[in-house]
């Protein structure tokens, strides 16, 4: 299943995949099925050690996995990567080898200063690990973005593209970016739209209906449950497909009321969010928060868990067993160590 580019560039290479979460497992399996030599680097007694061995992988402690590798893929949570680099990668990675990330956060915000004698590249499939694996297995792939931060071998671009081919991205679409663009757009998307923006919009809509005297159960269905129907249409064919499948009444409401909710003031605040990302304010705050033991993070998370929409939703979802049957598992445990 491997492409000629993969064969030519990485055919004789050993690839160390550090981490075996959603993306780590998918990358490791796809690379191996592309005919490449893969070792998985994990803590000896970590929860993923036996899982990786059960999948038939050669598993080693991170430092040992790195020593003989020609390409090291760092697929662990952002906040554990700097220590992992200092302890296991920097002392062991071979000169001329490639260090690969799936997110540019630590390099872009200078939490990791890669050795000057190695290639530093990025490959990020635009989908969760389960989708990356599933699409590969049926002969397709998930579009991926790639970047080169440091090229000492003269082959950094070829390595990035070959790795992307190895996980199936080349079957779909490869888009060139850089560490700055990938990091800043990824953080902005999460904060302003996908996670922060969407969840706050849903909570505000729920509160507005309940405060106006409507039943919480009805409000839940109207502002949260049915959002999936709209997002699926966005995903399949953009805004135009959504407009094709909703009623004319819904379309008219979209046109006249959407701009009343998401107005110029909202966009101005989005620009403030982007500025905090671009100038490093968000990164500094998040790094400091993590080092302090996550006091605000825990407080914010608990407030979300205790919001009335969660209490109502839990009761309603218990009456919809099909949701549990199809529920995806969490993509990762972002604050745990490797393995």
Annotated binding-site residues for NADP(+) read: 20-23, 43, 48, 129
Locate 190 and state its tokens. Answer: 């999460």
Cα torsion through 205, 210, 215, 216, rounded to 10: 60
Locate 329 and state its tokens. Answer: 């598992």
Locate 105 and state its tokens. Answer: 């956060």
Q: CA–CA separation, 199 vs 193, rounded Å?
A: 9
Burial class from Cβ neighbours inside 10 Å (0-12, 13-18, 19+) for residue 302 reads: exposed
Helix, strand, coil shares of the chain, percent, nearest 5, are 60, 10, 30
Q: Which residues sit in the known binding site for substrate?
A: 247
Catalytic residue of the set 103, 108, 149, 307: 103
Phi, psi for 21 (deg, rounded to 5): -85, -150
Locate 268 and state its tokens. Answer: 């101005």
Beta partners for residue 321, in sequence order: none
Three-state DSSP class for residue 114: coil
DSSP 275-329: HHHHTTHHHHHHHHHHHTTSHHHHHHHHHHHTSHHHHHHHHHHTT-HHHHHHPPP
Pairing of strands 144-150, 119-125: antiparallel
Q: What is the DSSP letter of 34?
A: T
Three-state DSSP class for residue 151: coil
Give the helix/strand (H/E) hosting 186: helix 179-188
317 C-beta neighbours (distance < 10 Å), count: 14
**334 in Cβ contact with 79 (< 8 Å):** yes
Q: Which residues sit in the known binding site for Mg(2+)?
A: 186, 190, 222, 226
Q: Which residues sit in the known binding site?
A: 20-23, 43, 48, 129, 186, 190, 222, 226, 247
Is 103 an annotated catalytic residue?
yes
Locate 113 and state its tokens. Answer: 């200063």
Q: Which residues carry out catalysis?
A: 103
């Amino acid at each position: 299943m491997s492409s000629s580019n993969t064969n030519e560039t990485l055919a004789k290479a050993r690839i160390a995949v550090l981490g075996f979460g959603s993306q780590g497992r998918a990358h490791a399996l796809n690379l191996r099925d592309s005919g490449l030599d893969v070792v998985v680097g994990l803590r000896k007694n970590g929860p993923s050690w036996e899982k990786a061995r059960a999948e038939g992988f050669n598993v080693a402690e991170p430092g040992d996995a790195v020593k003989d590798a020609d390409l090291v893929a760092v697929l662990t949570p952002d906040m554990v990567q700097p220590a992992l680099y200092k302890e296991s990668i920097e002392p062991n990675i071979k000169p001329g080898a490639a260090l690969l990330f799936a997110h540019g956060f630590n390099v872009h915000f200078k939490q990791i200063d890669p050795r000057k004698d190695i290639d530093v590249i990025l490959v990020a499939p635009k989908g969760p690990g389960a989708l990356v694996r599933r699409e590969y297995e049926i002969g397709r792939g998930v579009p991926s973005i790639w970047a080169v931060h440091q090229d000492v071998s003269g082959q950094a671009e070829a390595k990035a593209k070959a790795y992307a081919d190895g996980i199936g991205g080349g079957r779909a679409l490869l888009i060139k970016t850089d560490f700055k663009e990938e990091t800043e757009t990824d953080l902005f998307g999460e904060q302003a739209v996908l996670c922060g923006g969407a969840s706050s919009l849903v909570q505000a809509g729920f509160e507005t209906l309940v405060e106006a005297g409507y039943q919480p159960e009805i409000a839940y269905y109207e502002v949260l449950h049915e959002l999936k129907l709209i997002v699926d249409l966005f995903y399949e064919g953009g805004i135009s497909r959504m407009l094709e499948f909703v009623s004319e009444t819904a379309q008219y409401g979209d046109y006249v009321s959407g701009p009343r909710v998401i107005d110029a003031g909202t966009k101005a605040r989005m620009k403030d969010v982007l500025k905090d990302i671009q100038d490093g304010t968000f990164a500094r705050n998040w790094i400091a928060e993590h080092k302090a033991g996550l006091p605000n993070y825990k407080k914010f998370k608990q407030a979300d868990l205790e919001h009335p929409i969660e209490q109502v939703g839990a009761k309603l979802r218990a009456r919809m067993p099909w949701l549990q049957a199809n529920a995806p598992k969490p993509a990762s445990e972002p604050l745990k160590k490797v393995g």
